Amino acid sequence: MNRGAITVQPKKPFFEWGNAVFADEHPLKLEDDPESSTYLVDDDWVSEKEALQAHWAAIFEQELFSMCTDENTWPPNRNLNMFMAWFSFRFASMVIDLEEGGLWYE
């Protein structure tokens, strides 16, 4: 598999937005949901900055959609700086499939 990955984890602003959207429900807390999402990307990026610039908008929208499918509730004027304030992220240059046949020494 010739893929890299970007793993994102929501930060406090994401949960604040979710709590505003669903104000009548049990409040979401960062510590209640330590989940992260991993997005596969081409492994031939020149730099992490380039990869992030290419994919931040799609990742942001997917994360918003995972919380609320009503796009009218999504924050307007999303940009890369907002993405970086709302999510922590890290890159992996290798994705290894641990299922049968995925390891090189098998």
Chain segment 17-49, per-residue pLDDT in tens: 988 888 777 666 656 666 899 999 887 766 788
Mean pLDDT score, 63-91: 95
Give pTM, 2 decimals: 0.83
- Give Dmax over CA atoms of the chain in angstroms: 53
Which of residues 105 and 65 earns the better pLDDT score?
A: 65
38, 83 contact by CB (below 8 A): no
Total residues found in the chain within this entry: 106
pLDDT of residue 56: 96
9/71 Cα distance (integer angstroms): 20
Residue of 81 and 4 predicted with greater confidence:
81
